[in-house]
A and B are shown apart, each in its own frame.
Chain A
Amino acid sequence: GESVGLHLPTLSVQEGDNSIINCAYSNSASDYFIWYKQESGKGPQFIIDIRSNMDKRQGQRVTVLLNKTVKHLSLQIAATQPGDSAVYFCAENTPSGTYKYIFGTGTRLKVLA
């Protein structure tokens, strides 16, 4: 959904552990979902995507899970590293033909040494 908060939820994870970042999306008709990583002062960087006809997709050290029943998306990062510290946003593609994205509120991931 759209962000209205003034501060981001934070997930603190020990280096080497797995991270799970969750996202609730807003539109049951959305057909495409993306996870982005945003480091301070930079633009969002594409991590992984998934189409609505799939429920799981794996990349390098990352896995995205999609549960359409409850409109839930998650990003799993294996063996979290200090360089993974950033804000993570999920985005849903609205099926309007314009390929506009609705961004989630974001989660700050802090990796503890």
Chain B
Amino acid sequence: GAVVSQHPSWVICKSGTSVKIECRSLDFQATTMFWYRQFPKQSLMLMATSNEGSKATYEQGVEKDKFLINHASLTLSTLTVTSAHPEDSSFYICSARTGLQPQHFGDGTRLSIL
């Protein structure tokens, strides 16, 4: 149980394009979803917290107009990296939780901007 699916797992695109990443909870309803960014050999950095039907809460230093988050249902949240540039290249990971259960993570999306 508690499976979180993330898509795509890997994407390469040109500088200036926008990229959408999907995060789905497959077998449970996620009251809250989280988006993280991870650089090589480093820990996970929380970008934003997303509750279904409400605006995401962004961590300090994360540009909300750059990283658009939509949490339209209890099983789907999306992260759109707008006008992506090489410095946005990273490993993006989502997690989902319900009630007091621990966060369960997707397998991440490796984003490479050329």
- Give the residues in chain A near B104, CB-CB below 8 Å: 46
Measured CA separation A98–B44 after assembly (Å)? 17
Measured CA separation A103–B42 after assembly (Å)? 10
| A104 near B43: Cβ-Cβ < 8 Å | yes
| B57 near A98: Cβ-Cβ < 8 Å | yes
- With both beta carbons as reference points, the residue of chain B lying nearest to A104 in the complex is identified as B43
A2 contacts B by Cβ under 8 Å = yes
CB within 8 Å of B: which of A1-46? 2-3, 5-8, 34, 36, 41-46
Closest chain-B Cβ to A83's Cβ sits at a distance in Å of 17
| B42 near A44: Cβ-Cβ < 8 Å | no
Closest chain-B Cβ to A91's Cβ sits at a distance in Å of 8
Interface of A is mostly: loop
| B34 near A3: Cβ-Cβ < 8 Å | no
Closest chain-B Cβ to A40's Cβ sits at a distance in Å of 11
A72 contacts B by Cβ under 8 Å = no
Q: Which of A49, A99, A103 contacts B44 (CB 8 A)?
A: A103
B46 contacts A by Cβ under 8 Å = yes
Instruction: Among A5, A36, A89, find the residue whose CB has the most chain B CB atoms closer than 10 A.
Output: A36
Closest chain-A Cβ to B4's Cβ sits at a distance in Å of 8
Measured CA separation A99–B76 after assembly (Å)? 19
- With both beta carbons as reference points, the residue of chain B lying nearest to A7 in the complex is identified as B41
A57 contacts B by Cβ under 8 Å = no
Instruction: Among A6, A34, A44, A101, find the residue whose CB has the most chain B CB atoms closer than 10 A.
Output: A44
With known contacts A98-B49, A98-B57, A100-B34, A43–B106 Cβ distance under 8 A: yes
Interface string of B64-77 (1 = CB under 8 A from A): 00000000000000
| A3 near B42: Cβ-Cβ < 8 Å | yes
A105 contacts B by Cβ under 8 Å = yes
With known contacts A2-B43, A5-B42, A46–B102 Cβ distance under 8 A: yes
Query: Which residues of A are interface residues toward B (Cβ below 8 A)?
Result: 2-3, 5-8, 34, 36, 41-46, 49, 89, 98-101, 103-106
Q: Which 4 A-B pairs have the closest CB atoms?
A: A3-B43, A43-B105, A103-B43, A43-B107
